[in-house]
Amino acid sequence: MDIRSHIPHAGERYVQSMRQVPSNHYEYLLDLPSNMPEQHSTFYSHLQYIPFGVIDKNGNIWSTLLCHPKVNIIQSNRLTISTKISIHDPFVQAVISTQNEKNRYIAGVGVDFTNRRRNKLNGHIIRSNYNIDDNMLSLTIETYECMGNCPKYITIRKLI
């Protein structure tokens, strides 16, 4: 399993200081795996929706909720996602606008409200395609951070 040290960016440090988190707490953070554990990949493949965020060519962040995504795990750090979504969604426009860019960052968090399970992934898009005939967006993502998160504030509920 590949391990990556989490180095917090300035914004994260600022928020932590506003919350009065001791400045040395980063010394105790665990390194984060870049490989997706099998239980995470199974988890993502069963979700009815996954929120994702990307950065467009101007540096703006756009997010959307990918509904009924088809998720396939290719390797332990690579997955594909296909879903029907409008070309007019700013998220799709951001993905299209960065088609030829080198670093196409993406982040997502899967939440299952029936059991309070939550997993987060960070990575970059290595391949994307939008088929205008059937409104299908296909992404291939290489992960560099995969983690489970504390479910403390997630309320168990049934979604309709």
Give the tens place of pLDDT for each residue, 38-87: 776 678 888 889 999 999 999 999 999 999 999 887 887 888 999 999 99
Q: What is the mean pLDDT of residues 137-143?
A: 94
DSSP secondary structure string for all residues of 17-81: HHTT--GGGGGGPPPEESSPPHHHHHHHHT-SEEEEEEE-TTS-EEEEEEES-EEEEEETTEEEE
- List 19's β-bridge partners, or say none: none
pLDDT in tens, 15-35: 777 877 777 665 555 555 556
Q: Which residue range forms the structural domain that includes residue 39?
A: 34-148
Residue 7 maps to a domain = no
User: For the chain, what is the domain count?
Assistant: 1
Residue 158 maps to a domain = no
- Asked if residue 110 lies in contact with residue 37, where contact means CB atoms within 8 angstroms, the answer is no
Residue 61 maps to a domain = yes
Q: Percentages helix, strand, coil for the chain, rounded to the nearest 5?
A: 20, 40, 40
pLDDT in tens, 89-105: 999 999 999 988 888 99
- Backbone φ and ψ for 143, nearest 5 degrees, come out as -85, 145
- List 137's β-bridge partners, or say none: 83, 130
Residue 107 maps to a domain = yes
CATH number at residue 98: 2.30.110.10
Please say whether the dihedral angle defined by the alpha carbons of residues 97, 78, 153 and 20, taken in this order, is positive or negative.
negative
